[in-house]
Amino acid sequence: MNKSELIDAIALSADISKAAAGRALDATLDTIGETLRDGDPISLVGFGVFQVKDRAARAGRNPQTGETIQIKACRVPGFKAGKALKDAVN
């Protein structure tokens, strides 16, 4: 499912226009991004937890040359599925 298909599904399920569903989805994604940028987790009971994880600096290899390179430390978004979501999938 891509973004436009998700907007269509939201509009149908919530009985709202596609434009309103698109704005709601965009606002949700923007809020999730801003909250994670601040380093705060987002917990949606039954669905899961979005959180920021710190990835340590490490050595890697350039696949073309085989040369060893240093990869800087960074922050990456993560998601851990909740029980209800896991049960829905299985």
The pLDDT assigned to 2 comes to: 97
| 46 lies in the same domain as 68 | yes
30-56 confidence digits (pLDDT tens): 999 999 999 999 999 999 999 999 999
What's the pLDDT at 69? 95
Measured in degrees and rounded to the nearest 5, phi and psi for residue 78 equal -135, 160
For residue 86, the domain's CATH number is 4.10.520.10
Per the structure, the count of domains in the chain is: 2
Q: State whether 49 and 25 are in the same domain.
A: no
Query: Residues 21, 62: one domain?
Result: no
Q: Say if CB 43 and CB 23 are below 8 A apart.
A: no
Residue 67's domain comprises 41-90
* Tokens (6 digits) for 50: 């979005």
Please tell me the pTM assigned to this model.
0.79
The reply to whether 32 and 49 lie within a common domain is no
Same domain for 49 and 26: no
Instruction: Please state the rounded mean pLDDT for residues 14-35.
Output: 96
